[in-house]
Structure formats: C-alpha cells, structure tokens
Chain A
Amino acid sequence: MIDSLTRPDPDQIRGWLDAVPDPEVPAVSVMDLGIVRDVQWDGDELVVAITPTYSGCPATSVIAFEIEAALRTRGIERLRVERRLSPPWTTDWITPEGRRRLEAFGIAPPAESSGGPSPFDRFLRKPLAIACPRCKSVNTERVSEFGSTPCKAQYRCCDCLEPFDYFKCI
C-alpha cells in the first residue's frame, strides 16, 4: 500500500519514465520527446498525462500501455494515464538530450521553432537547409514531405548520398 509517506516523488517517477523508449523511435524516451506532460499524485493514485504527437499516431496507445507497464514494475499499482490534447504537442518540447539522441540515431532534429512562419509565408521561401546527420553536410534535398511516420520527412544527402529522416517542426 502506497501512502503519502512512502509514495515516490514525481521527479523520481520522471526519471523512471526516461527509460521508457518511444515505440516508433526507440532511440529517444517518452520524456525526451516531451510526450509526458504531467506526473502527479491524486491521493494514492498516480496520474500521468500524455499528449499525442500527431492525432492519428498509432503509437499513442502503445505509449500509454508501456508507461503503465514500466510503473507497475516499480511497484505503483494505482495509476491512471490521461490523454491531454491541449496545448497541442510541439517539437519545441523535445529536450536537448532528445535532439542529440535523434541525431546520433540518424534522424535530423527539427531545424527551427514551431513558432516560425505561417505556411503562407513558408510557400514564398526556399526550404530550410537540413544538415545530414551522418556527414553534417547541408547540401541535402527533400525527397518527400512525409517519411516512415507522420512526424518525419524524407531527405537525401547530396554529398555522402545517404537517405535520412528529418523530424518536422510542428
């Protein structure tokens, strides 16, 4: 039985969640991606709020399941995973460590803040130069606006010729 004296601190729980990988991009954790919005006790029940990256992302329910499984192995029996839609997830919430891990994994991290230009302005300028995660060259080209998951676009490096994923800003 967990009571107010023995229940783990939310910061400690966040640390545990940092070991839960994202099911689609296992190089980063659910904490790195900023999917976990809140961790707090409601009496003797732990409430974890998560937000979907994209509204149709099939990984969201898997993430909820894995968070629950990870916390149960830590002895937390009463817990609720809530889905929170607002404010909508943004790539700005990816941690510096998460960006580093993405790049090491071969995925170029988002190149700008989501508060960037609106699409009407975006149409009028050249696409951003995205650095190749392998050789760091910015001589790259976009192959498609969408990659293996909705959150990524497909690029190709014109110098080392490596195809790679780019994590889009939203």
Chain B
Amino acid sequence: MNGQDALFEYLLRLGDNALILGHRLSEWCGHSPVLEEDLALSNVALDLIGQTQLWLNLAGEVEGKGRDADKLAYLRDARDFRNVLLVEQPNGDFAVTMARQFYFDAWHYLLLRELTGSKDARIAEIAAKSLKEVTYHLERSRDWVLRLGDGTEESHRRMQAAIDDLWMYTGELFESDDIDRAMVQEGLGPDLVTLHEPWLGLVRATAEEATLSLPQPGWAQKGGRRGIHSEHLGYILADLQFLQRAYPNATW
C-alpha cells in the first residue's frame, strides 16, 4: 500500500466514525426523553455529519477518482466502511447512548487534539475546527455519565450496565495497524497507543465521581477499521442509503 492509499484509508476511518455515530444519534430525533435532549442529540449529530463532509471530501480528493463525500457515504457497502464497532452499536436506552458517546468523545477529543499538529495542513485544519465542537460533546456526555451514575438507583443500574456492555468495544480505539504506523511515520497522525493512558485517566476519574465501577481490561471486539462489522451496520446503511439506492443520483 502506498502513502496515498494509506492516507485515503485513514481519512475514511475518521469520516466513517463521524458519519455512523452521527446517524445513530439522529435516530433519537423525535424520540428523546425530553425536548432539550432531543435538540442536543440532534445538534451533536449535526456537528458529526458536518465533520463527515470535511473528512470524506478530503478522502475523495486524496483518492483522486472523482468521489466526493456524498458518493462515499451513500454508495459504499458495509465491507468498505472503516468505522470502529463502538459507533455502530444500537442506541439502547438513554444510558447506553450516553455511555457510548462518552467513550467515543473522550477518545475523539484526544485524537483531534493530536491531529491539529498534523503535517498535512488539510488534516490540521479540519481537526482544529472539529475539536471546538467535540469539546462540547465531551463536556455534555461526561456530565450525563455523572448524573445518571450518581443519580437514582435505577439510573445508576442502567448506566453501570451500559458502561459494562460497551467496554469490549473500547479496545479497538487504541489498536494500531500498518495504516496508523504509516501516518505516524509521515507525521500525519498520532500513535493511537499513546492516547490510551490519558483516555483511561479521564474515564476512570469520571467513573469514580459517578460512583460507577469500570470493568477490568479484557478481550476486545475488533474489526470495524478493516471493514469487518457487526450485523448492525447493514441495517444502518439500509436506512442511511435508501434514497440514493432507490433513486440513483437524486439531488435536492
């Protein structure tokens, strides 16, 4: 794999994480526990879809085959998606959605902070823009983990269950493969392994304050970054891509 191919794959990972999580959050629109949360979840989704456009347009530019963000989002099949498994997990109850968000936001924040120093100015620019938005996402999802963890008996039970159930999907966030190593070598992106300690520190401190216990490090479910997904992604794409598949080239 040459440098351009590796960069294309890397950008797909960044874009697909934002796209799939953004889509998952948009599923809450009109269904949230209260109006304020409906607005908040939709706004976070909107930020992520905006970031998706930036990453996937750049990916298409790097690939050089005339594909833009829309073509990449709407016309690839599950096997070609590069998002981590965490973001495609179903919304579950509100605790599951917020635990998933917190695990992701903490990692996303740390990653973007490093990417603002990328040698590729295009990556650094998108990261600087996204970082401002993700800072608010992290503040909010962390707040919900605290409020539900250190809340009622039932909210505590639900948040603890969410923290436990999603834990096995967090290992993949820090997995480093040939593509990541190529990015580190070129000075384009950070070594993901180095994000693990600060991430764990933030997650641990938050869990403690929320009276939650973190699972022991253990077996991690992996594969999304190489296109091996859980069954959930197919259903997401059936929904997300329906219009383009049913009415090819439709625009509005």
Contact = CB atoms under 8 A, between A and B. Distances in A.
A57 B140 CA distance: 19
Given A86-B128, A88-B128, A119-B138, A145 B133 contact: no
A41 interface: no
Nearest to A55: B50
Contacts of B51: 55-56
Contacts of A55: 47, 50-51, 53-54, 129-130, 133
Contacts of A120: 202
Nearest to B126: A85
A120 B199 CA distance: 12
B136 A168 contact: yes
A110 interface: no
A124 to B, nearest CB: 10
Interface stretch (A19-27, A42-50, A94-102, A146-154): A146-154
B44 interface: yes
Contact of A147 (B39, B53, B142): B39
Nearest to A144: B36
B197 to A, nearest CB: 14
Interface residues of A, number: 28
B132 A146 contact: no
B126 A150 contact: no
B128 A150 contact: no
Contacts of A144: 36-37, 39-40
Given A85-B125, A88-B129, A170-B132, A145 B140 contact: yes
B244 interface: no
B109 A56 contact: no
A148 B39 contact: yes
Interface in A141-166: 143-150, 154
Given A143-B36, A146-B40, A170-B133, A122 B139 contact: yes
Contacts of B221: none
Interface in A95-129: 114, 118-120, 122-123
B46 interface: yes
Interface in B125-167: 125-126, 128-130, 132-133, 135-136, 138-140, 142-143
B49 interface: yes
A119 to B, nearest CB: 5
Contacts of B40: 144-146
Contact of A56 (B47, B132, B138, B139): B47
B48 interface: yes
24 contacts: A52-B50, A52-B129, A54-B46, A55-B47, A56-B46, A56-B49, A57-B50, A85-B54, A85-B129, A86-B125, A86-B129, A88-B128, A114-B132, A119-B109, A119-B139, A122-B139, A144-B37, A145-B143, A146-B39, A146-B140, A150-B43, A154-B39, A170-B133, A170-B135
